[in-house]
């Protein structure tokens, strides 16, 4: 018997920012969050600038117009970040 597994397409229907985290609501009902500080441009942005995130390209991209920054939904969900996790101070 042949079984074909199809991967759900990662499409965002909504995005928002809280406390330097960016959150996405995906079409399959999941909510995904990631730290803004894992990206070069976003880590330098103010909280107000981070809140200006928009979902674009039919839900496949995130856009911050003022920052001229674009991220793919599939990339952030897959964990393709630009910067390492900050070191914890003991």
- List the domains of the chain with CATH numbers: 12-77 (3.30.2020.40)
pTM score, whole prediction = 0.83
pLDDT digits (tens, 9 = 90+) for 27-77: 999 999 999 999 999 999 999 999 999 999 999 999 999 999 999 999 999
- HEC states along the chain? CCCCCCCCCCCEEEEEEECCEEEEEECCCCEEEEEHHHCCCHHHCCHHHHCCCEEECCCCEEEECCCCEEEEHHHHHCCCCCCCCCCCCC
């Amino acid at each position: 018997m042949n079984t074909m597994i199809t991967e759900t397409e990662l499409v965002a229907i909504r995005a928002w920012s809280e406390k330097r985290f960016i959150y996405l609501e995906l079409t399959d009902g999941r909510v995904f969050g990631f730290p803004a500080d894992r990206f070069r441009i976003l880590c330098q942005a103010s909280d107000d600038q981070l809140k200006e995130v928009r979902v674009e390209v039919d839900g496949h991209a995130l856009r911050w117009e003022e920052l001229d920054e674009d991220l793919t939904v599939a990339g952030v969900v897959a964990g393709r970040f630009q910067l390492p996790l900050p070191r914890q101070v003991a």
